[in-house]
Amino acid sequence: MRRLVPTFVLLLLLGSALVTTAPGPLVAVKAGRLLDVAAQQVRENVFIVIEGGTVKEIAGSPPSGATILDLGGQTVMPAFTDTHVHVLLQGDATEEDYDAQLLKESLPYRALRATKALHTALQHGFTTIRDIGNEGAGFTDVDLKRAVASGIVEGPRMFVATKALAPTGAYGLSGYAWELRVPKGVELCDGAEECRKAVRDQIEHGADWIKVYVDRSYYRQPDGQIRSLPNFTLEELKAIVDQAHRTRRPVAAHSITPTGHALALAAGVDSIEHGDVLDEASIRTMAERKVYYCPTLTVSDFVAGPRPPIWADLQKATRESFKKALAAGVPIVFGTDAGGFDWDKINEAEEFRRYVESGMTSWQALATATVTAAKLLGQEGRIGTLAPGAHADLVAMREDPLRDITATERVTLVMKDGVVVFRKQ
């Protein structure tokens, strides 16, 4: 027994020495065309040299001893980030769809379905996601993030917002017999102190972001303008934002109309989610303060049919808002609300096409899911680029997305941290 201990210690030391000195496998990806999205430049016939899952350099020839991955006939670019998803949701075009998931699916079952959503996202070229509220699934998103990071489940790296916040009476499930206690899709908090405590608790349990539902119940006023009901008071919202920022966590605000934007921006949130109806004052503030706008045009198209008519009005309004925000220089970041639509039915990458249809150049659209998403997540230089030191996350396409943006919907290969995680047969 006594002799075993030193041997064990020796093995530990040897193990740690190997970990610190081993450079990892050397891979050189030959790119026929490489899109440098930050510089808006195309480089031809270059090698992306990858060591241990990280980009080492972009070179004209491969280093000796490297394993070559030949994508010489293809266009290669940094992999995508979707900054507005719900992996624990599988489509909620109608209230019934939503309620059934919270009432009839156990959390383990929802977690299993989420692993499929993670896999789908990866196959579509998304190697990073911001999961922006897990709809009544507690802190399951933190567990999923951990499972991905530890290699138990294959999926995009995750930034998570856990439970999300709304005040009493402002979020489903609702409409059930009063004597029943039904689950809620968010954490409820009322009053500044209770909301501060909720933020503290979410951060303690692993929230990278705080998500707050700022408005609801969208309606058209007699003057034709679309407005909504405010959820929190300004005092409550300020407490949420202040508490999150004290712990260096940003705040994402679900806000559809100017009723919500005025409160959210006055409280100092970091991103406006959806923002279907953007007024001039909100656009000005967002451009000046660089508050991110996450437009989620894909879900807007998805729910316009099945939901009440106001949603079709919002679908039209959101295209106009997008154009105005783009013209004013508001930072626009790629977000689809996948999970709001079924992961299996729609490829998240369709969002790119919707941005181009709404006035962006292809370069601008590609930037939303790469360089801008990296900025939003505080990951500049780490994701959304293939510069030295970045995660070796890339996608390949047979067609050129600069000519046809829908090429992004047909990726042939996806690499995450230097490992090929999807290859089209």
Interface with Zn ion by CB under 5 A: which residues? 337
C-beta of 135: minimal distance to Zn ion in Å? 9
Q: Cβ closer to Zn ion: 192 or 210?
A: 210
Q: Cβ closer to Zn ion: 27 or 87?
A: 87
Nearest residue to 390 (alpha-carbon basis) of 416, 409, 412, 408: 416
Helix (H) or strand (E) holding 419: strand 419-423
CA distance 161 to 376: 14
C-beta of 132: minimal distance to Zn ion in Å? 6
On whether the CB atoms of residues 235 and 217 are closer than 8 A, the answer is no
Written as six digits, the tokens of 143 are: 């567990």
Nearest residue to 326 (alpha-carbon basis) of 280, 348, 358, 374: 358
Q: Cβ closer to Zn ion: 71 or 93?
A: 93
C-beta of 338: minimal distance to Zn ion in Å? 9
For residues 275-314, one letter each, b for 16 or more C-beta atoms within 10 angstroms of the residue's C-beta and e for the rest, the string is bbbbeeebbebbbeeebbbbbbbbbbbbbbeebeebbebb
C-beta of 248: minimal distance to Zn ion in Å? 23
Q: Cβ closer to Zn ion: 37 or 303?
A: 303
CA distance 318 to 316: 6
Q: Cβ closer to Zn ion: 215 or 337?
A: 337
Q: Using only the alpha carbons of the chain, give its radius of gyration.
A: 23
Q: Cβ closer to Zn ion: 85 or 397?
A: 85
Q: Give the residue at shortest CB distance from Zn ion.
A: 337
* 3-state DSSP of 27-60: EEEEEEEEEECCCCEEEEEEEEEEECCEEEEEEC
Question: What phi and psi values does residue 260 have, to the nearest 5 degrees?
Answer: -75, -40
CA distance 300 to 242: 31
On whether the CB atoms of residues 302 and 350 are closer than 8 A, the answer is no
Q: Cβ closer to Zn ion: 313 or 337?
A: 337
CA distance 48 to 194: 50
C-beta of 322: minimal distance to Zn ion in Å? 17
Contacts 24+ apart (CB under 8 A), 165-169: 165/189, 165/195, 165/198, 165/199, 165/210, 165/211, 165/212, 165/213, 165/240, 166/212, 166/213, 166/216, 166/231, 166/232, 167/231, 167/232, 167/236
C-beta of 133: minimal distance to Zn ion in Å? 6
CB atoms within 10 A of CB 409: 19
Q: Cβ closer to Zn ion: 114 or 192?
A: 114
What count of Cα atoms within 13 Å lies in the side-chain half-sphere of residue 52?
A: 8
Q: Cβ closer to Zn ion: 143 or 337?
A: 337
C-beta of 420: minimal distance to Zn ion in Å? 30
Q: Cβ closer to Zn ion: 91 or 258?
A: 91
